[in-house]
Amino acid sequence: MDALINKRIKQVLKGDQSAFSDIVSHYQHSLYQVCYRMLGNRQEAEDIAQEAFVRAYMNLHTFDQKRKFSTWLYRIATNLCIDRLRKKKPDYYLDAEVAGTEGLNMYSQIAADEPLPEAELEKMELQERIQYEISRLPEKYRVVVVLKYIEELSLQEISEVLDMPLGTVKTRLHRGREALRKQLNSL
Amino acid sequence: MNKCPQYIVDYMHEYLDGDIQREQELELKNHLQSCTDCQQHMHELSDSIAFIKSATHISAPPNLEIGVMARLPKPKQHVGIQKWLRRHPFIVAAATFIILMSGSLLTGYNDDQQFSVTKQPNLVVDGQTVIVPEGETVTGDIVVRNGDIRVEGEVDGNITVINGEYMASTSVVTGQVEEIDKAFEWLWYEIKSAFKDLEKMFESDETK
């Protein structure tokens, strides 16, 4: 897969813009997921994920092809998410609370007239709660927790994505887990 | 729980990260068996992880890719030209050949801008005009470049005027009269005369 991606990257660098769409379609879900978990809002997640791909396209010549492309993409996306969170600090908690639609896709929203079965409701509530708890984490712990437990990256990869020493990643992950534990216990 | 040392909690996290030393893992397990508070703490941490991990996978909206492609800056024009050139090597080669060929031929045309005339004994040159005087007979061909010719006498041969005018009143020319004004005609004349020269060369070879 990496070989194919590197081939596409070379094509894009030679001026074949259409080769970039393969790159987008391969990474769009994981990148969108990170953005959504970080921001807790679908519109913003879509906007930031798109922006991350556009930035990747513009700076593709700086990418070192000996490295993992996904790591590089994650770095662009997480940096954009953190920037967005810092800019939007005042109303960000409001955003997090209305972000209760995950688990539902476009089709289930169209079919919202039908009453949902009890099990479905419970499932939705759990998902809502998960996103709410993620959103309550301070952003420096949140990004580590999301990369580790949602994206299932290794600690080494997370340290590369966030460009910080492995020790710092571990400390943040430990603190993130403790923060999550306290949040879940307080209810 | 307050009485338990901090390193026990550190061991818990190391255990959860999967990079705990063997001895420390044993120490942690022994401690957890004897301390219900720490056991509780460990459970809560594991539960928190399980809670986060139960998040459903989220897919990107269907139009994300289209959105990205639409937001990309337009590729620069020179890239397109380069791409086109790379895709059509034959056309490029042909065009290069034509440009070089016409270049060399046209430089010859530009170089010949000054007035010149074929030397014949009884021709009179008046400025840019060549005159065949009345009563005189010129034997042989006459080529005039960038000038006019006025024939008042007799010419026993062909007359060629390049970028000029042929003027005759009561003259007698026993050959062809040719006027060449335009670059294309001049080019054609050059090609024709080149072939004529070749023919002459072969003829003279044969006669030898």
Cβ contact, residue pair B75, A17, below 8 Å: yes
- A29 part of a folded domain: yes
Q: Which of B43, B65, B66 to mutate to test the interface with A (most CBs of A within 10 A)?
A: B65
A109 has a pLDDT exceeding 50? no
A162 has a pLDDT exceeding 80? yes
- A110 part of a folded domain: no
Quick one: A84 and A164 in the same domain? no
- A16-25 pLDDT, tens per residue? 999 999 999 9
| Helix, strand, coil percent values for chain A (each to nearest 5) | 80, 0, 20
- A99 part of a folded domain: no
Quick one: A86 and A124 in the same domain? no
| Residue A76 amino acid letter | I
Quick one: A133 and A185 in the same domain? yes
**Count of positions (residues) in chain A:** 187
Quick one: B121 and B192 in the same domain? yes
Q: Are strands B124-126 and B129-132 parallel, antiparallel or unpaired?
A: antiparallel
Confidence of residue A123 (pLDDT cuts 50, 70, 90): low
Determine the distance in angstroms separating the CA of A28 from the nearest CA of chain B, rounded to an integer. Answer: 6
Q: Chain A window 35-94: which residues touch B at a Cβ cutoff of 8 Å?
A: 36-37, 42, 46, 49-51, 53-54, 57-58
Cβ contact, residue pair B71, A50, below 8 Å: yes
Q: pLDDT at position A116, please?
A: 46
Q: Which of B46, B57, B68 to mutate to test the interface with A (most CBs of A within 10 A)?
A: B68
Residues 6+ apart with CB under 8 A from A116: A124
Q: How many domains does chain B have?
A: 2
Q: pLDDT at position B169, please?
A: 66
Q: Are strands B148-151 and B129-132 parallel, antiparallel or unpaired?
A: parallel
Quick one: A48 and A80 in the same domain? yes
Q: pLDDT at position A93, please?
A: 47
Quick one: A121 and A72 in the same domain? no
Determine the distance in angstroms separating the CA of A87 from the nearest CA of chain B, rounded to an integer. Answer: 22
A125 has a pLDDT exceeding 60? yes
Confidence of residue A11 (pLDDT cuts 50, 70, 90): very high
Q: Are B180 and B161 in contact (CB under 8 A)?
A: yes
Report the residue from B19, B56, B59 with minimal CB separation from A29.
Answer: B59
Most confident option among A112-116, A120-124, A157-161, B103-107: A157-161
- B154 part of a folded domain: yes
Quick one: A11 and A81 in the same domain? yes
- A34-75 pLDDT, tens per residue? 999 999 999 999 999 999 999 999 999 999 989 999 999 999
Where is the domain boundary, A27, A61, A93? A93
Q: pLDDT at position A92, please?
A: 43
- B170 part of a folded domain: yes
Determine the distance in angstroms separating the CA of A169 from the nearest CA of chain B, rounded to an integer. Answer: 11
Confidence of residue A95 (pLDDT cuts 50, 70, 90): very low
B172-203: buried (b, 16+ CB within 10 Å) or exposed (e) per residue?
ebeeebeebeeeeebbeebeeeeeeeeeeeee
Q: pLDDT at position B106, please?
A: 72
The helix/strand/coil state of B196 is helix
Q: pLDDT at position A27, please?
A: 96
Which residue range(s) make up the domain with B138? 116-207
Quick one: A10 and A84 in the same domain? yes
Q: pLDDT at position B77, please?
A: 60
Determine the distance in angstroms separating the CA of B24 from the nearest CA of chain A, rounded to an integer. Answer: 17
- B48-68 pLDDT, tens per residue? 999 999 999 999 999 999 999
Q: pLDDT at position B31, please?
A: 94
- B176 part of a folded domain: yes
- A155 part of a folded domain: yes
DSSP, residue by residue, A155-175: HHHHHHHTTS-HHHHHHHHHH
A110 touching B, CB under 8 A? no
Where is the domain boundary, A40, A63, A93? A93
Report the residue from B57, B64, B71 with minimal CB separation from A28.
Answer: B64
Q: How many domains does chain A have?
A: 2
Confidence of residue A9 (pLDDT cuts 50, 70, 90): very high
Q: Which residues of chain B have pLDDT under 50?
A: 1
A173 has a pLDDT exceeding 60? yes
A104-125: buried (b, 16+ CB within 10 Å) or exposed (e) per residue?
beeeeeeeeeeeeeeeeeeebe
Radius of gyration of chain B, Cα coordinates, nearest whole angstrom: 49
- B175 part of a folded domain: yes
Quick one: A151 and A73 in the same domain? no
- B158 part of a folded domain: yes
- B120 part of a folded domain: yes
In which residue are the tokens 């070379």 written?
Answer: A10
In which residue are the tokens 């818990």 written?
Answer: B12
Quick one: A57 and A142 in the same domain? no
Average pLDDT for residues A107-122, to the nearest whole number?
46
User: Nearest chain A Cα to B10, which residue?
Assistant: A174
A102 has a pLDDT exceeding 60? no
- A104 part of a folded domain: no
Q: Are strands B137-139 and B154-156 parallel, antiparallel or unpaired?
A: parallel
Reading the block at residue A3, the tokens are: 């070989």
- A108 part of a folded domain: no
The helix/strand/coil state of A59 is coil
- B19 part of a folded domain: yes
User: Nearest chain A Cα to B9, which residue?
Assistant: A174
Determine the distance in angstroms separating the CA of A181 from the nearest CA of chain B, rounded to an integer. Answer: 6
Q: Residue A22's domain is classified under what CATH number?
A: 1.10.1740.10
Which residue range(s) make up the domain with A141? 115-187
CA A59, A65, A70, A71 torsion-angle sign: negative
**Count of positions (residues) in chain B:** 208
Most confident option among A95-104, A144-153, B172-181: A144-153
Q: pLDDT at position A108, please?
A: 38
Cβ contact, residue pair A173, B53, below 8 Å: no
- B42 part of a folded domain: yes
Quick one: A72 and A121 in the same domain? no
- A185 part of a folded domain: yes
Nearest to A37 by CA among A27, A49, A25: A49
Report the residue from B52, B54, B83 with minimal CB separation from A145.
Answer: B52
Q: Residue A158's domain is classified under what CATH number?
A: 1.10.10.10
A26 or B191, which is more confident?
A26
A100 has a pLDDT exceeding 90? no
